[in-house]
Amino acid sequence: MSCIGIITTVGTSLKDNFREYLEEREGKRISNDKDLLTCIKNGNCKYEEFIEKKFLSPIRYCSDPKSFPSAELQSLYLFFKRKKEENNTYKIYLLYTRDEGEVCANAIKEILKILNGLKETFGIADPIILKEFNLDIENNEKFKKGLSDLFSKIKEAIKELKTNGCDKIFINITGGYKGLIPFLSLYGFLEEEVGGMIYAYESSKDILNIPPLPLEWNLRYLDEFRILLSLEDLKEGQYEILPEKIKDLYEKRDTGYSKSALAKVLSEEYIKNRRRRFGYGAPLLGKIRDEDLRKKLEGYITGKWEHLWIGDQIPETVEHSRGHSLRLLELAYQLLEIVDLNLSDCELFALISAIWLHDIGHSGLEYNYNGIDIPVWMFPSLVRDWHNLLSYNRIKKENYLEEKTTSDVIATISKYHRNKMPLIGDCPWNDKIFQDIKVEPLCEELNDKELKIYFCCPLGPKRVLLITALLRFIDGCDVQADRVVDEDYLYMRDKRTMEEIEVYKKSLETYKTMLECIDSELYQEVFEVIHKYEKDSKNRGSNNEKDLKLLEGEILRKVREILINNKNCVEFLTPLSVADKIIFKLRQRFHFLKHSYIKLVYIIKEGNNNGLKVVLLIDHNNPDECLLKKIGEDIYNEYKSVEEVLNEHFTVDGIYYTTPEKLGLNKIYPEVQDDRKNS
């Protein structure tokens, strides 16, 4: 059961059909509109007979009318009939033009009241609202003004309907002047609060649903003229330089031009949306039923969270910012559409917030280790390895969520989004090099925390575990080509990274003596690995990944040794910092290669069981089986790390790939023999 708002434009078909009825009844032509309108307005006996025979009497006797008194009544009745089993409540707005339109609108309002009083209740809420708009179809300038006025009235109606609790809003484009249909439809497509348009053809026995298309205002076009559009009034010279499409949004005045009502509606949309350069996860946000909570989160996402990634310390990695978050929101929406996890509003808020904030540690600058503030900004390897811990600290410290307990929940979820962090059990995680850095299992950490999102009911530890597991799983699925942006970005990023490496190599040579004092073999080892990497340029980053990783570990061990022995040691850390930056940059090529190989990732469910499939779409006719297996194994391992939490709700049967040419699924991981072994 829902509350549905219907905005209906009203024409004069009631008058015309009444005329036709009288002419047939009395056998003579009737040309006096004034007398007809008077009959309708006063409700004389001939008019009442017309309404009863044509419309009300059949309904009283549980049959459908063979014809209808007006287009508006036909469309509304057919819509009510289709939705009958839903037991909805309907709030109706009738938009009319003065004189004839006003008489017809008032008459339709009274008929709907009678209709709602019949034994078959239609759920029409009282009051039915009437709104007048000015429209002159015989004068071009007045017609444009009338359109502006119509859009303004629709905007008012939508706002009032939302305020009064309507879950869905439809625009009924059946009645009124037919020249308005394209404008009403376009407005319905562009207005995000409208769930679609409805229309009934003259002889139709069913209502047509016109689904809302994914269109939007051309804000980029308007952005080219944002200075002039910000002004309420324009001088003649300012008006003349506008393109024709925008000129029509202004009305001539004695001293220049002023914004029309349509221009004001458009300006509101422009101001609201011009800074939304990307999506913001609207489908997933729409699952939050509490409007205040949803609006708060939308405000964060489209406001200050737009700029969270300023200061990213490792920009040479595949994309971890806004685009990554949006893809996770899309994957989460897919998952929640096919698996009923029954997430509450607060749980959805926590999941969406963690999706946006979990990688904010990439902008971390320091991490406190045994009372020592480690300058992680000097060591990109540490930023990558500890970014979840850095995210935890930043979310707790910064005012991203404006409330302490909410910040604590989101920070904790973000801290455990990495594969190595234990969710359940009793074995903590220890950093392999900085072994005093320890993370207890999440189930232990939740024991003494207040788990609450703003004013909502407290979250149970089990549900926080579920949200964390969901984040980790979908995070592991984002191995899509969008993470390398496109081929041009990949080329420029690779070119820039190699330029930086060359500069750091020169810098490292100047620190040769200092680095040899720290470790006589390390300097030579760094250059040997660099030389090996450059020599194997065709397979850069793949064959040498293991060597690079080992050398990275050696560098970080020296960093730990220096930090423990000398707290004020930035000058000794500098050559190690340069070496770490070189090795870290060299390692990224393989990650770009891995992500660029996969066009899309999506999740499907087949059959009635709880088993899901993660599907990788690739564009390659001769796939690289080794690379695909590595990618599939990585995703599956992310799932396995949270399997014990998720298997109450769903399982992952495996990772598959497909191509646009071959629609079948090919299993990548686990391999068939592994399945037999595990079964």
- The pLDDT value recorded for residue 348 is 96
Alpha-carbon dihedral sign for residues 119, 124, 126, 127: negative
Statement: residue 449 has pLDDT above 80: no
* Beta-bridge partner residues of 605: 612
Sequence-ordered strand ranges (E) for 36-120: 89-96
Domain coordinates in residue numbering, the chain: 3-210, 219-273, 282-478, 484-596, 600-678
Closest to 76 measured CA to CA, from 128, 41, 127: 128
- The pLDDT value recorded for residue 331 is 95
CA 521 to chain centre: 52
**Two structure tokens written together for 544:** 């040498």
Statement: residue 548 has pLDDT above 80: yes
Most confident of 411-425, 436-450, 475-489: 411-425
Question: Which residues, 6+ apart, have CB-to-CB distance to 544 below 8 Å?
Answer: 529, 532, 533, 536, 586
- The pLDDT value recorded for residue 337 is 93
Statement: residue 567 has pLDDT above 60: no
- The pLDDT value recorded for residue 541 is 46
How far apart are alpha carbons 630 and 432 in whole angstroms? 23
- Overall average pLDDT of the 132-159 stretch: 85
- The pLDDT value recorded for residue 254 is 83
Residue 256's region, left for phi above 0, alpha for psi from -120 to 50, else beta, is left
Which of the two residues, 679 and 23, has the higher pLDDT score?
Answer: 23
Q: How many CB atoms lie within 10 A of CB 602?
A: 15
- The pLDDT value recorded for residue 672 is 63
Mean residue pLDDT across the chain: 87
- The pLDDT value recorded for residue 669 is 93
Least confident among 526-540, 584-598, 652-666: 526-540
pTM exceeds 0.85, yes or no: no
394 confidence band (pLDDT: 50, 70, 90): very high
- Overall average pLDDT of the 391-406 stretch: 93
532 confidence band (pLDDT: 50, 70, 90): confident
Question: Which residues, 6+ apart, have CB-to-CB distance to 469 below 8 Å?
Answer: 423, 642, 645, 646
pLDDT by residue (tens digit) across 183-204? 898 888 888 789 889 999 988 8
- The pLDDT value recorded for residue 678 is 44
List the end-to-end C-alpha distance of the chain, in Å, as a whole number: 45
Share above pLDDT 90 across residues of the chain, in percent, rounded to a whole number? 45
pLDDT by residue (tens digit) across 225-251? 888 878 888 988 888 998 888 888 888
- Overall average pLDDT of the 324-342 stretch: 93
pLDDT by residue (tens digit) across 580-628? 999 999 888 888 888 888 999 999 998 778 899 999 999 877 788 888 9
Whether the Cβ atoms of residue 31 and residue 53 lie closer than 8 Å to each other: no
* Main-chain phi, psi angles of 233, to 5 degrees: -130, 145
What single string gives the DSSP state of each residue in 556-619? HHHHHHHHHH-SS-HHHHHHHHHHHHHHHHHHHHHHHHHHHT--EEEEEE-SSSSEEEEEEE--
Statement: residue 444 has pLDDT above 50: yes
Closest to 337 measured CA to CA, from 297, 288, 287, 290: 287
Question: Which residues, 6+ apart, have CB-to-CB distance to 409 below 8 Å?
Answer: 350, 449, 451, 452, 453, 459, 464
The correct answer on CATH 3.40.50.300 for the domain covering 3-210 is no
Residue found under tokens 């699925």: 477
Statement: residue 481 has pLDDT above 70: yes
Closest to 273 measured CA to CA, from 228, 326, 220, 333: 220
How far apart are alpha carbons 21 and 54 in whole angstroms? 9
- The pLDDT value recorded for residue 276 is 64
How far apart are alpha carbons 572 and 566 in whole angstroms? 9
